[in-house]
Structure 1
Amino acid sequence: MSPQLMNIFYQSHAGSWFFTLLFFGVSYFMLTKQNMKAQKITHMILRLFFVIMVVSGIGMLVGYQFSLVFVIKGILAIALIGLMEMILVRTKKGKEAGKLWIPFIIVLVLVLLLGFNVISF
């Protein structure tokens, strides 16, 4: 894979992570307000960035020839996406979502540490 294409995947992946976390926070705090229409819009934008993140992540996996560290990071990232969705949907429905915050923080830290090569094997 060409270095330019890898750079495109990397930049879009890093940017999508930033916007994913940003829109997750905005969407979560919009749930406490009574503005459900705006929360629904931010949740849909968040889902769009999930797709961008997964597609660019798969492109990077191919470019790194499915290195074990990045495969594990990808699996954890998919779990993180699931945790974000569960937190938002359960909170929106009025169900208990407090138990999901601890795994969310643990998986987020692991993904960030793996992504920035702080943890490698």
Structure 2
Amino acid sequence: MGVFTDTTHLHIFTWVVAVILFLAAAVMAKGSKGRKIVHMILRLFYILVIISGAFLFFTWSSADAAMYGVKFLLGVLTVGFMEMVLVRQNKDKPTTVFWVLFFISFLATMFIGLSLPIGMDFF
């Protein structure tokens, strides 16, 4: 299982693709067939992000269990807010609050993830 736990490359790849697909789906026309396809592919990447993150969590959390737990929780919340934005857009409901929550949770997840021992040494 080294591909999941030796480095963060797979996890970073999956969430970068997920964010790109999310932004693409968010700007596509509501109800279009292309948006539905992108949304379904995005849901597959949600699962891949959570699985790769879970592998990293269970492998590395002994180093700093509390911060890895907070990062895992924020990551799941970020995925949830991404899904809520798209679902509420499809139902023509307001999404401003969920966009703000998405950006806050995304930035907090990024900051914590990069500052953890397995993250990159930017901070």
- The answer, yes or no, to whether TM exceeds 0.5 is yes
Q: 1:58 to 1:45 in 2, by over 3 A?
A: same
Structure 2: stretches of 5+ with no match in the other structure: 117-123
CA distance in structure 2 between the partners assigned to 1:27 and 1:6 by the alignment: 30
The equivalent residue for 1:92 is: 90
Q: What amino acid is the match of 2:66?
A: L
The equivalent residue for 2:5 is: 6
TM-score (normalised: structure 2): 0.84
CA distance in structure 1 between the partners assigned to 2:4 and 2:41 by the alignment: 25
CA distance in structure 2 between the partners assigned to 1:109 and 1:21 by the alignment: 12
Q: 1:98 to 1:34 in 2, by over 3 A?
A: closer
CA distance in structure 1 between the partners assigned to 2:30 and 2:92 by the alignment: 13
Report matched runs for 1:36-51 at 5 Å.
Answer: 36-51=32-47
Q: Deviations over 1:26-78 (max 9, x none)?
A: 00011xx2661000010011111111111111100111035221111110111
Report matched runs for 1:1-121 at 5 Å.
Answer: 6-7=5-6, 10-30=8-28, 33=29, 36-66=32-62, 67-117=65-115
The equivalent residue for 2:121 is: none
Q: CA RMSD of the aligned region, Å?
A: 1.9
CA distance in structure 2 between the partners assigned to 1:38 and 1:72 by the alignment: 35
CA distance in structure 1 between the partners assigned to 2:24 and 2:42 by the alignment: 10
Give the number of the structure whose residues are more often helix, by fraction: 1
Q: What amino acid is the match of 1:74?
A: F
Q: Quick one: percent identity of the two aligned structures?
A: 28
The equivalent residue for 2:119 is: none
Bigger Cα displacement from structure 2, 58-67 vs 88-97: 58-67
Structure 1: stretches of 5+ with no match in the other structure: none
TM-score (normalised: structure 1): 0.85
Residues matched between the structures, number: 114
CA distance in structure 1 between the partners assigned to 2:31 and 2:93 by the alignment: 19
